[in-house]
Amino acid sequence: MNLANNSRRVRARLATIGIALALSFLTVSASAQERRVPLRFQGGVKVGVPIFLNVDHDIVKPGASFQGWGGFDIGWFVVEFGLGLMWTPIDTRNVPGALFPERFEPLVRLAFSPGVRFQIPTIDAVLPYITGAFDANLWSLEALGAGCGWYYCRDDSRGRFAPGFTGKAGVGIHLKNAMYLDVGFQYSMSGKGDFFNRMQWWAEPFIGFIYRGDADRFGGTGY
């Protein structure tokens, strides 16, 4: 008899524990659902005018740039990945000792730029933001001769790697639905890497467009 009573008590306790665990799981699951962050796609394109700061401006002229980017928008933050091309005209006639100087030769930069954006998504009319990004740069320039006395000079025109960083501030002006006009300013640097003999800095005003998709663009309400 005692064994039967003990067995019933054990089963009752196990049932109570099971019910408590089930209720706890349901409570945690509901709380997690409430905390899920809306996840949406954000991307855009921009064009800019890069102006090198620590150079001879009789040689290095203002250029042009284009970048496309996309990423994961989780409200106040965006994890983004960009691919850009920059073209800067070099007036080789002003490079002392350059071999076969022409009017202009392009200094070309191809960059892959993963970054993080902080934005203020609570204002309907505008979308202010700041961005920090690492730049994996590939620089190239026509060979002007290694002994021309100018630090861009080299005896080959192959692309060379140099890491860098870009800080950007801008504002998206809401146009219609998910589209924004993007206006801002960025400040970039490139380390020496395998191309330069000292750091390079440039400033760049830009204009473009931002697309900010729906909260369920990636097939759910987030994570």
Residues 172-199: tens digit of each pLDDT: 999 999 999 999 999 999 999 988 888 9
Q: How far apart are CA 160 and CA 107, in angstroms?
A: 12
Residue 55 lies in a domain: yes
Residue 71 three-state SS: strand
Nearest one of 121, 135, 137, 148 to 212, comparing CA atoms: 121
Residue 16 lies in a domain: yes
**Residues composing the chain:** 223
Asked if residue 101 and residue 26 are part of one domain, the reply reads no
Task: Determine the structural domain holding residue 201 and report its residue range.
Answer: 38-212
Asked if residue 154 and residue 171 are part of one domain, the reply reads yes
Nearest one of 160, 177, 159, 175 to 208, comparing CA atoms: 175
Asked if residue 118 and residue 49 are part of one domain, the reply reads yes
Asked if residue 132 and residue 77 are part of one domain, the reply reads yes
Q: Residue 98 has what pLDDT?
A: 66
Asked if residue 106 and residue 122 are part of one domain, the reply reads yes
- Per-residue pLDDT of 63-97, as tens digits, reads 999 999 999 999 999 999 999 999 999 888 887 76
Asked if residue 97 and residue 25 are part of one domain, the reply reads no
- pLDDT at residue 45 above 80? yes
For residue 38, name the pLDDT band (cuts at 50, 70, 90). confident
User: Chain-wide mean pLDDT for the chain?
Assistant: 83
Q: In the chain, which residue ranges form alpha helices assigned H by DSSP?
A: 2-35
49 near 208, Cβ under 8 Å? no
Q: Residue 21 has what pLDDT?
A: 54
- Per-residue pLDDT of 138-148, as tens digits, reads 998 876 666 66
Asked if residue 161 and residue 125 are part of one domain, the reply reads yes
Which one is predicted more confidently, 4 or 126? 126
Asked if residue 81 and residue 24 are part of one domain, the reply reads no
Count of domains for the chain = 2
The CA-atom distances, in angstroms, between 61 and each of 49, 55, 102 are: 10, 9, 15
Q: Residue 94 has what pLDDT?
A: 81
pTM metric for this prediction = 0.77
Q: What's CA 148's distance to the chain center, in Å?
A: 36
Q: Residue 54 has what pLDDT?
A: 84
CB-based burial of residue 94 (10 Å sphere; 0-12 exposed, 13-18 middle, 19+ buried)?
middle
Sign of the C-alpha dihedral, residues 185, 79, 178, 110?
Answer: positive
Asked if residue 90 and residue 68 are part of one domain, the reply reads yes
Asked if residue 113 and residue 165 are part of one domain, the reply reads yes
Residue 101 three-state SS: coil
